[in-house]
Amino acid sequence: MSRKRRKGGPLDRAAVEELALSYLARFATSSAKLEAYLWRKIRERGVAEDGDPIDVGAVVARMVELRYVDDEAYARARSSGLLRRGYGARRVDQALRAAGIEEELRAEAAPDERSARAAALAFARKRGFGPFGGGARSGEPLDRARREKQIAAMVRAGHDFGTARQMVYAEQAEDAERWASEVEE
């Protein structure tokens, strides 16, 4: 037996600030995502008739001023998290753009060549691509169609074609690991 969740009444400025604080207590977020969340809540619940007009931008600016929201820290954390999971630079940029992070901060959070190669290696290991797959370990060469599918999956994960090809066509796991660590400073 489930209960319906109550939406609550119309919002005033104090209620919007409370919503912002409770959202920030639960999630690390960007200022743009916080603003979108607050506007969505206002659309869902409406604005109290007797209250002052709600300036969502001012509420978000206050949260930034109090350092509850830090777009730069969010961009760095989100970028490193995606890279650890094996996603490439393009996918990282797309995620940050979707979160409303400005171009300058996205460029600062973009992975360098070493990080991009390490992410490609992590993705290939996780998905069993190239030398990390079952066929490569048993000594059987991978067929062309299977390699193309693996390259396509890596490209969809945000890796550039050259990186994906290098991972998938590596003969041994050691070759892939060596390539990932050979980055010119």
How much of the chain is helix, strand and coil, in % rounded to 5?
Answer: 65, 0, 35
Instruction: Please tell me the distance from the alpha carbon of residue 149 to that of residue 30, in angstroms, as a whole number.
Output: 35
pLDDT at 53: 81
122 within 8 A of 86, measured Cβ to Cβ: yes
Only one residue has tokens 């992410």, namely 119
**Does position 47 have pLDDT exceeding 60, yes or no?**
yes
Query: What per-residue confidence (pLDDT) applies to 166?
Result: 94
Q: What would the pLDDT profile of 48-103 be if each residue is shown by its tens digit?
A: 887 778 899 999 999 999 999 999 999 999 999 999 999 999 999 999 999 999 99
Nearest to 120 by CA among 76, 90, 146: 90
List, in order, residues 6 or more apart from 102 with CB less than 8 Å away. Answer: 71
- The CA angle 73-77-25, to the nearest 5 degrees, is 70
Res. 109: pLDDT tops 80: yes
The span from the CA of 42 to the CA of 20, in Å, is: 12
pLDDT band per the 50, 70, 90 thresholds, residue 185 = low
Q: What gap in Å lies between CA 179 and CA 157, rounded to an integer?
A: 19
Which pLDDT value is given to residue 133?
82
HSE-up (13 A, CA, CB side) for residue 74: 23
What pLDDT score does 50 carry? 78
pLDDT score of 66: 96
Tell me the domains of the chain and their CATH numbers: 13-69 (1.10.10), 72-181 (no CATH)
- At 121-131, the pLDDT tens digits run 999 999 999 99
Instruction: Output 133 or 102, whichever has higher pLDDT.
Output: 102
